Amino acid sequence: MLNKNVEKKLVEQIEKEGYSSSLYLSMASWAECNGFAGIADWMYAQSDEERMHMLKIVKYVNERGGKAIISSIDQPPADFKSVKEMFEMVYEHEQMVTASINDIVGVCLEEKDFTTHNWLQWFVTEQIEEEASVSNILDKLNLLGDQNNLYLFDRDIMGMRSQNDSAE
């Protein structure tokens, strides 16, 4: 049976993962509308991945005797000043998700829910990879400097995702 305090934190995380999926979907739409097909594809893939994270938590909560609650999700921003600003937002968002996962891990330890603690290690590792991936993208954007050099970056961004995915 799932500990009630852990269940509460996991249900909160379901909402955060749902918001993450919506945020990246909004960013994908913005990128696509602004001629950044590669960036749009990267964001669409991220949106799908976040939805899968949400579903993974939903199924775990339900399988462990809890009840996954699907709440409404706040509308994410729809406009971004630049590609760089958008990826800075992604990085900050991923850091927030990491902190949230770490908070759940802490509650698991407090409640001696070692089963969920063990299960959450996949998410801990995933967040390390997410932050590293976006940090790498920001490094590339910083090398580019101004927005006039984004053609090759946009073309190559999915290759950056593939490198990170194959390293798993």
Map 66-123 to HEC letters: CCCCCCCCCCCCCCCCCHHHHHHHHHHHHHHHHHHHHHHHHHHHHCCCHHHHHHHHHH
The domain segmentation of the chain, as residue ranges, is: 4-166
Q: Taking the CA atoms of the chain, what radius of gyration do you get in angstroms? A: 17
Angle made by CA atoms 35, 40, 45, in degrees to the nearest 5: 170
Tens digit of pLDDT per residue, the chain (168 long)?
A: 999 999 999 999 999 999 999 999 999 999 999 999 999 999 999 999 999 999 999 999 999 999 999 999 999 999 999 999 999 999 999 999 999 999 999 999 999 999 999 999 999 999 999 999 999 999 888 888 765 677 677 778 867 764 545 444
CATH superfamily of 4-166: Ferritin, core subunit, four-helix bundle (1.20.1260.10)
| pTM of the model as a whole | 0.89
- Answer for the pair 157, 100: CB distance below 8 angstroms, yes or no: no
How many C-beta atoms surround the C-beta of residue 113 within 10 A?
Answer: 21
Could you tell me the end-to-end alpha-carbon distance of the chain, in angstroms, rounded to an integer? 31
Mark the binding-site residues for Fe cation, compressed into ranges. 17, 50, 53, 94, 127
Binding-site sequence positions: 17, 50, 53, 94, 127
